[in-house]
Amino acid sequence: MELIEITGQPCSGKTNFIDRETKADKSIKKYDLRRNLANFFIGIYYLGYSRTKTLLFWSLKEDVSFFFKLNIFRNSVIKFSIFITNYKLDKYKNTKLYVDEGISHLPFLFLKIDTFKVLKFTNKELLKTKVIFLKSSSQLEIKERLQRRGHKRLRYLSLNIFVERNMEIEDFLLKKYPELCKDLRIKENVINV
C-alpha cells in the first residue's frame, strides 16, 4: 500500500484529479479521512495535549464564525490520524491510496498563521509524506472557479483577499516542500486536462 496526499489551493482541481486517476487506474483508491469520527480522537491521541492546543489556538484566530473555527480545528486534527491508522490499511495491498487534503494541506486551513510556523509544526510528518501538489494555473482561473463553485471562506473574506493569500501559501509551499516532503510531484494545469 502506498499513501499519497493530494493537495493544492482551493479550486486547483483536487477532486477532479482524484476522480480521473481512480477511474483510469483501478489500483488507485481514494481514502477519505473525514468520514470516520474516530479519526478526530485518534488525531488528538497522536498529537498530544500541547500540539492539539496549538491547533485549537490557530483555529480560533481565523476570521470566520465560531462554528467554522471548530470545523477548522476538527479538520486539522483529523489529518494527523493517518499516522496511527495507516497500519490498519493493509487490506489495500498493492494499492495506491490517494488522501484528499491530508497533512500537506494544513497551511491552506490556517490563513491567519504564518505558513512557516505551520510547516515547522508538521515537519516530522511531512518527512514521511508523499505528496502530489496541484499547482494552480492562474489567479484568474482560480477566481472564476471560486465564483462558480463558491467556498465557505468567501462568507468572511473577499474573493481577492482569499485568492491572494492562497497564492502566497502556494508559492511558499512550492519552494519548501521539495526539501520537506518524503516525495513531491508537482502537477500543473490539471483543471484543463
Instruction: Return d(Cα 176, Cα 116) in angstroms, integer.
Output: 9
Q: What is the pTM of this model?
A: 0.90
C-alpha cell at 117: 510556523
C-alpha cell at 38: 474516530
Mean pLDDT over all residues of the chain?
A: 89
Cβ-proximal residues to 9 (8 Å cutoff; 6+ apart), any chain:
108, 136, 142, 166, 167, 169, 170
Cβ-proximal residues to 29 (8 Å cutoff; 6+ apart), any chain:
22, 92, 95, 96, 97, 98
Does the pLDDT of residue 91 top 90, yes or no? no
- 96-100 and 183-188 strand pairing: unpaired
Asked if 86 and 3 touch (Cβ cutoff 8 Å), the reply is: yes
Per-residue pLDDT reduced to its tens digit, 100-152: 889 999 999 999 999 999 999 999 999 999 999 999 888 888 888 888 888 88
In the chain, the percentage of residues whose pLDDT exceeds 70 is 92
Strand, coil or helix: 98: strand
Strand, coil or helix: 2: strand
Strand, coil or helix: 42: helix
Per-residue pLDDT reduced to its tens digit, 4-41: 999 999 988 888 888 898 888 888 888 777 667 888 99
Of 172 and 188, the one with more pLDDT: 172
Cβ-proximal residues to 10 (8 Å cutoff; 6+ apart), any chain:
108, 142, 146, 151, 153, 162, 166
Residue range 48-61: average pLDDT?
A: 98
C-alpha cell at 92: 489495500
Q: What is the 3-state secondary structure (H, E, C) of 106-164?
A: HHHHCCCCCHHHHHHHHHHHHCCCEEEEEECCCHHHHHHHHHHHCCHHHHCCCHHHHHH
